[in-house]
A and B are shown apart, each in its own frame.
Chain A
Amino acid sequence: MATQAFQKIYTKLNQITKATCSINASGVGNEELATVAGRLAQVVKIVGDTVTLQIFAGTEGIGTDAEVVFFGKAPTLKVSDQLGGRFFNAYGYPIDGGPEVEGEEVEIGGPSVNPVRRKQPSELIATGIAGIDLNNTLVTGQKIPFFADPDQPYNEVMAMVALRAESDKIILGGMGLSNDDYLLYKNTFENAGVIDRIISFVNTTEDPTVERLLVPNMALTAAEYFALEKNEKVLVLLTDMTLYCDALSIVSNRMDQIPSKDSMPGSLYSDLAKLYEKAVQFPEGGSITIIAVTTLSGGDITHAIPDNTGYITEGQLFLKRDTDIAKVIVDPFRSLSRLKQLVIGKKTRADHPQVMNTAVRLYADAAGAKTKLENGFDLSDYDERVLQFAKEYSEHILAIDVNVSTDEMLDTTWTLFQKHFNKAEVGIKDEFMNLYWKKA
C-alpha cells in the first residue's frame, strides 16, 4: 500500500515484542491500520500517547527507528462482482497475478445483524453426502464445524461439500493451510470448472501466523456483500479455526493478558461468536452459511477451542474411519445438525425423520452387537442381521464418497430395511410402511 499525502509518519519505537510494538503518537484511532517498516499493523491499545500496534507479519528485523505510517481507517476490503473467481491473501491483495479489485471499500469485522431482522433458516442445502443430507441435514444460514483429527481428510470433504452444495458463491477462508492443501482447493475448484463462483482468502503456513486473524473477517465481509446486496446464497468455508485460535492466543499472550482455560484468551467465546454469528438468513433470500473445520487433539472435545465452538455453532460433524468397509464415514452418533428439524420431512419427503431415526437406532443396535462379539458372547440371529445391515448402511449411505439425491438415500435405506428386518423390527408408522414397504 503506497504512502499517501498528509499521513502521519513516526520513526521512534519505544517497545518491540515478538508480535507488537509501541510508539508515541497522537490522533490515532483504535483498531486503525498502519504500516511499520512497510509491514501492515493494527492499533490494539492506546494509553495516553503510547500506541500499541500488532504487526501481522511479525517483528523480526524491525528497528527502533522503523517508519510507522497510520492510515486513519480500520482494515478494509473492496467489494464488487470482480471478487468472483479470485485468490487473495489475508490483506485482500490478489495472489493470483490478476489486477486489483475495484469496488466499494468496506471495513471488515463490521456490526452484527439486528436479531429481529433475521429470518428463521428454512432452506435445505443438499450436498449429496448421505451422512450429511440424510442424518444431519444442513440449512442455509447455519454454522457448523467439522470436528476432525489432523489425520482425517477434512479438507477433501470440505472441497467436495463446496462443489456439490447448491450455492451462488463459495468463499474459502484458509488459515494456516499447508501449501499442498491450498493447491488441493485451487486445483479442485479449477478442475470442476466452477472457479467463477469461488473466492479465496488464503493464509498458508508459509505466511506469518498473526495475519490469519484477518482471514475470516475478510471472507465474511465478502460474503455479506453477496448475501445482502445481491441476495445470493453464500457458503463460507473456514479452515482451520483451531489455527485461528492459536493466533489469537499468541497476540493476547504478547499483550500480557491473563490466559484462561488451555492458555486461550478469556475472550475466546466472544471472538469466535463474532465470526460464526455472521451466518444468517436474510428475509430477502440471501444467506450466509458457514462450514468450518476445527481440528482436535486426539479427539478431545473438552479442549477450550472445540468446547467454545460447540456452544456457538448449530451442531457439529465428525468424520470417522469405518474399518469394516475401509472408508471414511460421517459418524452418525456424534454428529448433529441442530437445524435439521426445520427442513426434514418438510422440504424433504415426509418419511425422512422416521427413516433417519430408525436407521440410526438399528445402527446403534449393531454397535451393541459388536461389543457383545468383542466380549466373546454368542450372537443372536437379530445381532447377525443388524451387523450385516450396519455394514451395508455404512457402504451405501454413510460413506462420504456416496453422491445421490435425498430421495434415493431414503429409497436405499428402505431397501436395506426390507432386506434385513421384518416390519415390527423396523417399527415405522403404518402411513409410511404402506407407501414404501414393497409387497413381496
Chain B
Amino acid sequence: MTKGIVKGIIANLVQVEVSGPVSQNEICYINLGGVKLMAEVIKVMGNIAYSQVFESTRGLKPGDTVEFTEHMLEVKLGPGMLSKNYDGLQNDLNKMNGVFLTRGEYTDPLDEESVWHFTPLVKEGDKVKGGDWLGSVPESWISHKIMVPFGMEGEYNVKSVALEGDYKISDTIATLVDVDGNEIAINMIQKWPVKVPIKCYKEKPRPFKLMETGVRTMDTLNPMVEGGTGFIPGPFGAGKTVLQHAISKNAEADLIIVAACGERANEVVEIFVEFPELEDPRTGRKLMERTIIICNTSNMPVAAREASVYTAMTIAEYYRNMGLKVLLLADSTSRWAQALREMSNRMEELPGPDAFPMDLPAIVSSFYARAGFVYLNNDTSGSITFIGTVSPAGGNLKEPVTESTKKAARCFYALSQARADSKRYPAVDPIDSYSKYLEYPEVIEYLNTNVSPNWVKDVNSTKDILLRGKEAQEQINILGDDGVPLSYHDKQWKGELIDKIILQQDGFDKIDQSTPMKRQKYMLELILSICGKDFVFESFEDVMPYYVKLINICKQMNYVEFESPDFKQYESELHKVVEERRAK
C-alpha cells in the first residue's frame, strides 16, 4: 500500500509526496493527530499527489502521514438503505453522535446486524453475470434484489445458493465459480466507485413512457418520461425547492432519491419532518418509506458536496438494476458546479467562463447521461429519471451552468420571477419551457394510446393558445385597451383561462396539489372546448368579467373531488355560463 507525506496545504487541497504508485481519484486518509481525514487524489504531478480533503484541514501540518487505499470513492450497496439519511460520502447521519459533525467520523451506511429474509431466484448450475439477480429480500415494501456484483466480468456458474431463510448482510448467500474454477462467495453487500456508471444492462432504448408527477404544468404541457432528464432553473424565491418537493411527493416512482446538494439545512429538516408523516397518494404508505436522502447542506465541506450527487446517482443505478423506477432529484446542481469551481481554482487551472472549469459542460453532460430507461439482462425494465435544479447567478440564464445543463437535459422547466411575483405557482414559464420528449415518435405514440388519441395535438394547440394570449396581451399593453380589436381581449383571456386552470396549481390544497392523468385529460379537453368557441362581446369591458366568472367556476372544480356531485354541479353551471355568450 502506498504511503505519503503532506507537503503543502491550500484550504482543502493538500499536496502529498508519495512513495509509490497512486491513481487518479484514489482515496487516501490523512492522519491528523489520530483523526483520519478522507481525501481524493485529483491531480498527480511527479511524485506529488494533489488531494481534495472532504473535511476541514484546520491544524494539518506538513509532515503528517497519508495512507492510500487503492480504490476510488465508493459506496456500499445492500439492503437497508431505504429511508436512510446519508451525507455526501454515504455516512449514515443518524448514527453520528453529538450535535455537531465531527471531523473524521465515518459511519456504516448499512446495518451489519440487521437480518433479512432471503429468497433465492437462481438454482445450482445456472449461469449468471454481473448485475443478475441471485435472490431477493423484502426491504420495506420493495423486493430488494441481491445481485451478482457489478464489477464481476464474464460468466459464472452458480455452485450453491442459500436456502430461503433469515441472513445477515455479510452472510454468504451464494457461491459462484468462474471459468477457471475459482470459487467466489457472495454476500448481500457490494461496493461500487461512484464516478463510474453501472452498465450491467442489456440495452438502453430511447425513453417512451410518461412519468406522472401530478403537476399539471409538467404532465400536460411538458411531460417528463420514465428515464428522462430535466432541469429547473430559477432565481431565488421562484420556488425551485417547492416544485421539487411537490414532484417528490406525487411522482409515480418506486423510489425517490433526494440529493440536497449545497442547499439550506432547514429545507432538508422540512423533508425529515414531513416525509415520515405524509402519505404516498398511490400506495397509502408514508413517503419516507420510498425515500433516501443524500444531504450535504451548504455549510458541509465543499468536496463532499461534489461527491454527493455521484453518491446519489450510484445508489439510483443500484436500485434501477432491480427493475425499479427511480426518481433522482438534485437540489441544486449549481452548488455542485461551484464546488468544481472552487477546486479548479485551487489547482490554479486556467479558468473557463465565470471562472468555472473548462470541462464543466462535459462533466454535466456525462452525469445526466447516467439517467435513462434500460432493459436488464432478464428483460425486465428499470429507469432513473433525473431532475436537477439550477440556481443561476442573478437569475440570468446566460451563465455557464444553465447553458451546460441545457445541452444535456431534455426537459427545461424555466421558473420565472414575474410569475412568482404575481403568485402564479408553480412559476414554470409555459412559453420558455420545453420537453423534447414531445417530439419523440415513441412518446407521441405512447401518449396517444394511453391518454387520448388526440392528446399531443391537444397539447400543442394549448401551447398555441397560450402564445397567442401572450402576444395579444403585449399588444394591449402597447396600444391600450381600446386601441386593439375586440378579438385581442378574447385571445388574451383564453390564454389566461388555460393559465389559471391548467397551469396554476395550489400546492397546499389537498385535492389540487396532485392531479392524476385521467383528470388532467378531462380538464384539458373541457378547457380546450371552451377555447374553441366564439363568444360575443359588446365592448372590451365585457370580456374580463365574463372570463373571471368562467375561471372561478373552473377553479372550484379543481378544488373538489373528481366526478363528485359537486364537481358535476360546477360543470353544468359552467356549461350554462358558456352558453350565455356563445356565438350562435
| Cβ-defined contact, A120 with B266, below 8 A | yes
* Interface residue? A258 (CB, 8 A): yes
Cβ–Cβ < 8 Å partners of A310 in chain B: 235-237
Q: How far is the CA of A280 from the CA of B355 in the complex (A)?
A: 32
Q: Name the CB-closest residue of B to A50.
A: B8
Distance, CA A302 to CA B56, complexed state (A) = 30
A28, A48, A258: most-surrounded residue (chain B CB, <10 A)? A258
Q: B102 and A111: CB pair below 8 A?
A: yes
**B272 nearest CB neighbor, chain A only:** A116
Cα-based distance from A17 to B100 in the complex (angstroms): 37
**Interface residue B485 (Cβ < 8 Å from any Cβ of A):** no
A150 at the interface (CB under 8 A from B): no
Stretch at the interface among B150-158, B298-306, B561-569: B298-306
Chain B interface extent, by class: 35 or more
Given contacts A29-B59, A46-B62, A304-B393, contact A260 B272 (CB under 8 A): no
Q: Indicate whether B9 reaches chain A with its CB closer than 8 angstroms.
A: yes
Interface residue count for A (Cβ, 8 Å)?
59
Is the C-beta of B351 less than 8 angstroms from some C-beta in chain A? yes
Neighbouring A residues of B341 by C-beta, 8 Å: 260, 266
- Which residues in B have their C-beta under 8 angstroms from that of A277? 264-265, 297-299
B508 → A minimal CB distance (Å): 9
A46-B8, A112-B101, A270-B298 are known contacts. Are A118 and B269 too (CB-CB below 8 A)? yes
* Binding-face segment, B39-47, B91-99, B278-286, B487-495: B91-99
Is A47 in contact with B297, judged by CB distance below 8 angstroms?
no
Query: Which of A31, A44, A47, A112 lies at the interface centre, i.e. has the most chain B CB atoms within 10 A of its CB?
Result: A112
Known: A267-B302, A269-B298. A113 touches B99 (CB 8 A): yes
Q: Does A30 contact B (CB under 8 A)?
A: yes
Minimal beta-carbon separation of A70 from chain B (angstroms): 11
Does any Cβ of B come within 8 Å of A321's Cβ?
no
Q: How far is the CA of A202 from the CA of B236 in the complex (A)?
A: 31
Query: Which of B62, B295, B339 makes the CB contact (< 8 A) with A48?
Result: B62
The smallest C-beta distance from A10 to any residue of chain B, in angstroms, reads 15
Q: A88 an interface residue at 8 Å Cβ cutoff?
A: no
Chain B, Cβ-Cβ closest to A141: B266
Contacts A261-B393, A277-B264; is A112 near B8 (CB within 8 Å)? Answer: no
Which of A260, A304, A314 is most buried by chain B, counting CB atoms within 10 A of its CB? A260
B580 contacts partner chain A, Cβ-Cβ < 8 Å: no
Which of B57, B262, B342, B354 is within 8 Å of A273, CB to CB?
B262
B452 within 8 A of A: no
Dominant SS among interface residues on chain A = loop
User: Quick check: is A110 within 8 A (CB to CB) of the other chain?
Assistant: yes
A282 on the B face (CB < 8 A): yes
Complexed CA–CA distance, A111 and B99 (Å): 10
Judge whether A32 is part of the interface by a CB distance below 8 angstroms.
Answer: yes
B394 sits at the interface (CB 8 A): yes
Q: Which residues A290-316 have CB closer than 8 A to chain B?
A: 301-304, 307-308, 310-312, 314-315
Q: A274, B354: Cβ atoms under 8 Å?
A: no
B335 at the interface (CB under 8 A from A): yes
Do A30 and B266 touch across chains, with their CB atoms under 8 A apart?
A: no
Contact of A61 with B by CB under 8 A: no
Cβ-defined contact, A29 with B302, below 8 A: no
A228 partner residues in chain B, CB cutoff 8 A: 99
How far is B102's CA from A261's CA once the two chains are assembled, in angstroms?
33
Alpha-carbon gap, A367 to B530, bound state (A): 33
What is the chain A residue whose CB lies nearest that of B421?
A333
Interface status of B479 (Cβ within 8 A of chain A)? no
Residue A160 lies at the interface, judged by CB distance under 8 Å to chain B: no
- Beta-carbon nearest neighbor of B62 in chain A: A46
Instruction: Report Cα–Cα, A228/B486, bound state, in Å.
Output: 66
Q: A258-B345, A266-B342 are in contact. Are A47 and B302 (CB under 8 A)?
A: no
Scoring B residues 53 to 88 as 1 if CB is less than 8 Å from chain A, else 0, what string do you get? 000111111110000000000000000000001000
Query: Could you tell me the distance between the alpha carbons of A312 and B59 in the complex, rounded to whole angstroms?
Result: 28
Q: B297: which of A107, A115, A315 is its contact (CB, 8 Å)? A: A115
- The CA-CA distance from A301 to B394 in the complex, in Å, is 7
Q: Which of B8, B61, B99, B354 contacts A261 (CB 8 A)?
A: B354
Tell me, in angstroms, the Cα distance from A46 to B298 when the chains sit together: 26
Interface centre among A121, A278, A310 (most CB of B within 10 A): A310
A49, CB-defined interface residue at 8 Å:
yes
Q: Give B334 Cβ to nearest chain A Cβ, in Å.
A: 8
**Are B354 and A32 in contact, CB atoms less than 8 angstroms apart?**
no
The distance from the CB of B418 to the nearest CB of chain A, in whole angstroms, is: 13
Bound Cα distance A26, B262 (Å) = 35
Q: Which residues of B contact A29 (CB under 8 A)?
A: 58-61
List residues of chain A with CB within 8 A of the CB of B262: 269-270, 273
A345 to B141: give the CA distance in the assembly, Å.
37
- Tell whether B103 is near chain A: CB-to-CB under 8 Å: yes
- Chain A nearest CB from B295 CB (Å) reads 5
Q: Is the CB of A111 within 8 A of B100?
A: yes
- The interface residues of chain B lying within 8 Å CB-to-CB of A9 are none
- The residues in A between 262 and 295 inclusive whose CB is less than 8 angstroms from any CB of B are 266-267, 269-270, 273-274, 277-278, 280, 282
A46-B62, A47-B10 given; A111·B101 CB < 8 A = yes
| B527 proximal to A (CB < 8 A) | no
Flag if B59 contacts A30 (CB, 8 Å).
yes
Q: Kindly state the separation between the CA atoms of A138 and B433 in the bound complex, as whole angstroms.
A: 34
Collect the chain B residues with CB atoms within 8 Å of residue A282's CB: 99
Cβ contact within 8 Å between B103 and A111? yes
Contact of A311 among B62, B93, B391, B396 (CB under 8 A): B391
Complex CA gap A85/B235 in Å reads: 41
Cβ-based interface call for A193 (8 A): no
**Taking the nearest CB of chain B, how far is it from the CB of A47, in angstroms?**
4
Distance (whole angstroms) from the CB of A77 to the closest CB of chain B: 15
| B270 close to chain A: CB less than 8 A | yes
> Which residues of B have CB within 8 Å of A273?
262, 297-299
Q: Contact: A112 with B300, CB < 8 Å?
A: yes
**List of A residues within 8 angstroms of B339 by Cβ:** 270
A-B contact pairs, 17 of them (CB 8 A): A30-B61, A45-B8, A74-B59, A118-B269, A119-B269, A142-B266, A261-B354, A266-B338, A269-B335, A270-B342, A277-B265, A277-B297, A278-B299, A280-B265, A310-B237, A311-B391, A314-B264
**A residues whose Cβ falls under 8 Å from a Cβ of B:** 26-32, 44-49, 74, 107, 110-121, 141-142, 228, 257-261, 266-267, 269-270, 273-274, 277-278, 280, 282, 301-304, 307-308, 310-312, 314-315, 333, 336, 339
The 3 closest A-B pairs by CB, nearest first: A302-B394, A273-B298, A277-B299
